[in-house]
Chain A
Amino acid sequence: MSKEKFEGVYVYIEQRKGVIQEASLQLLGEARKLAEKLKTEVSAFLIGYQLKKLVKEPIYYGADKVIYVDNKECANYNPEIYKTVLVQLVMKYKPEIFLIAGTKYGRELAPSIAADLETGITADCTAFDIDEKGNLLQIRPPFGGRVHAYIITPEKRPQMATARPNVFPLPERNVSRKGEIIKEETEVSKPSMALIKFEKGSEAEIPIEKAEVLISFGRGFNLEDAHLLEELCDFFLKSSISCSRPIVDAGLMPRSRQVGQTGKTVRPKLYLAIGISGAIQHLAGMKDSKFIAAINKDPNAEIFKFCDFGIIGDYKEVIPLLIEELKKKQAPS
């Protein structure tokens, strides 16, 4: 197939249990910019079951067209079924560019679609542009974010990429925007893999990627002292508790609270790292925070090379001091 036959910027809009994931709406804003440069349209693919309430949302966030598949078999995400459906949509609509939010589902789904279509795919992009030849320039941060790689897919179409969540701003929701809505039927064959159970994790009141202050702890923190974290948290508005990967691997906190390369990317106003050494994979997730502070008893900890304010000491002594001072500030003088 010649690449001229492929047109338009398409975004896969991920919904989970009837809720559209913000990461895919963020991509609509980026898709609009690319479409304007290419003088083309933005379309959204949406799949699931009983989607009536959702189908217009992508339009409100910037899509010109929504193509959706509403099928009972698509009620829950299943990598095999979703892949088959999306491949059929891509074959029919022939996107020039096809973007997928790099959530866990997206990072799993996107490469399997690319492999089926035998096209190229770039992972976890943090910026996009159009080069002088009209190719999608895909910029991504491998090596724990220490380099930026510029990648293109010059011949094959669609040009596929996943994008890291919470890097692109959420476009404004505009309910007066109009667009076309198309319902598609696709074949869904019986999968050889099935979801048999889902256990919802306990989600923080404020998800860590939305918090303005993150009190984050690592292996150097003993959870017997958890009350210290909570007390500290209470001094800040829009604050939440996050952690490093070993804490999650040990089953002490849900995966949704993990910061880093294989966790979430956060950029709060204040990131306070307590008993976190500052491994490259951890830094990858929080290095763009506005103000980074650290409490660590090891003066040579890596984290001290990447923070605005560092306190060398045992958190058991430092946090109570901090709480005491913060209380003084709060008390009316």
Chain B
Amino acid sequence: MKLNRRVFVGTGMAAATSLSAPMVHAASHGKPKVVVVGGGAGGATAARYIAKDSAGEIDVTLIEPSRSYYTCFFSNLYIGGFRELDSIAHSYGTLASDYGINVVHDWATGVDRDARTVALAGGGSVPYDRLILSPGIDFVEGSVPGWDVSAQNAMPHAYKGGSQTELLKAQIMAMPEGGTYVMVAPPNPYRCPPGPYERVSMVAHVLKANNPSAKIIIADPKANFSKQGLFEEGWQKHYPGMITRIGPDFGGENVSVDPEAMTVDIDGEVINADVVNVIPAQKAGLICGAAGLTEGNWAPVSGHTMQSRMDENIHILGDATNQGDMPKSGFSANSQAKVAAMAVRGALTGSRVFPAKFSNTCWSLIDTDNGVKVGATYEATDEKIAKVDGFVSQTGEDAALRKATYEESIGWYQGITSDMFG
């Protein structure tokens, strides 16, 4: 990583001085070109910041198959009836019209790292000086025996935004009286550590109103989970008797499903379920593997710049990365995108580069006006992105604070989505 050393002379304010740019872009094609694959929390933010801050000096192309991005964040609130689906959909219109980003609605199918081009499913390829990949997650095959993506209509994961979320909600609303919802929770690491448990809270919230004798079962391979004390306190208070969690000590890691029979086998005990929400084990979005940038399930990156440890012309963001201590969240992906955008501009146009700083806060809703949060700050070391400081909501907080926390999450949602899409 020669580039790293060149860009980051020392630490602290010393690095915050102007650097003479390496100017790596090919002389033949005028303006330096940045291609971003994936228009989610990481990719949309990175594209917007590079376009905005380079003021026309860099040519930015964003490749994203969907015309609307449905956020996974707040998708649980849609399930709980706190948000309309429309309110969590975002278009790429402003990025194109106000920021001059070239938005291409297509899949990237491969990367030629020597020629520095990205191949598109619709044919043709796009050249880059710097490539940014933020493709989110895909699922590890065979991680829940009996389930594969062809079963996702019978047993939705709802762990990518949009139609899956809608399907899961429809199934929950159609549950027979006193029916059973089973969640197969994922092993670490996975996107949004509190996500499955916020989802259970929101499912319980709708069932309590519409189907109060229904049951919720979580089969969980993890001994502990994010904000556990807060969720368990909330479940006890708002949904007593409705939720059962089967952890690994009772066979929660030994689960298989039968999508046709709609049964879940938890350590030999077969449960007939009405809704089965399978959240499988996860890995980096497929394009990372296809480009040869993964080690195990994830793509290793340097925290200083978010550059791939395997190719210094490629930066990888968000859920797909193995970066160190940050949780896989929209907030994290957005935070990493800003560091990458700064590094890319520094490399391509010689703009000033400052030491990387990261942060994350995840809010979760347990019931009406009962919000909790967990957060931390991070900095880059040579090995990884390392946690500096953190906090988590406390059990027993009063109602005013919990309500303020929930309202803050609404403000955050507004903030991050305008930070991504302009």
Does A associate with B in a complex?
A: no
